[in-house]
Structure 1
């Protein structure tokens, strides 16, 4: 049969036609389309079926090898179409189907710039809900298990610092923390701390003095 192909970007215009067999499988069809377009990689072709009632492309494209034959691509309920829509992808369709988009807030969503302590600094990914950390993802966590629909995902540098007289000195993984703390008498000891950097999201409050009548 003759199948009319339309670019998904111009769904009202026939771009070219190909004579195909209804028994052609998924690979046969995309190979024919790729050959006509002069494309070396047929896996970069994504097809979308035609809705015979709305005369528009179906909302969801055909998945990679998601149908067996051309006849399945053209069938819409009890009607058979002669139209298919195509796209040329930047990456192979199997690879595209394996991708997942996640919205991640990096360190502090209200800051214009986020600086790392050094170029090779490691980040940790957190699952946050109502400003409370519910999970710290291990580096080997599969992306398919991460959900950003109900939780906020936050990436931040897990930064420790040694503080002496309120001055932070960021620690490296190779540093021995114990060597930073030296006995300086009773009062001097209170001037040394181990600090963990985090963003201050607390609402700003009026000072006590400003509220005095």
Structure 2
């Protein structure tokens, strides 16, 4: 897409999600599975983007025990060599709150706008089929760090997975690697917090 001045203008990453949310909400059919299908993809990239948004919804503490499950399933399937995402029935039928999803997408616009400025297909060898399983393993570890309800650390792995998912959708290996680096840092943060909590509990007991 080009503007009148001839400069290429990248469509917003948020628009497909916002449009699908609105159209499916109007028909009363907004579920996790229908949202993914409505985007026209069952690819791992869009699934990771959508499911990481789910974990960033304004929900009570500890909700990642539920909201991180689609990410664990998706990254686990990638690790096992699946070609496409296949959601179990209960997860596919999970109903979504359109207003909360829309609010979360708009809240991330400052991040997505910055990413959109630099997105371009590059380092695409990262997405070669032979790397699917190793990438899936790394992403599963990040998703597991998100799954554990550790105070102050939940948003970090969610953002990391979101950034990786965007890189995968746009075939931008550098952005995807940035997501992996953020994910590694989030896993390390989770380990440090868990170790500190365990040490504190041990000190109280003894």
Higher-strand-fraction structure: 1
Pairwise same-fold verdict (TM > 0.5): no
After TM superposition, the score normalised by the length of structure 1 is 0.25
After TM superposition, the score normalised by the length of structure 2 is 0.25
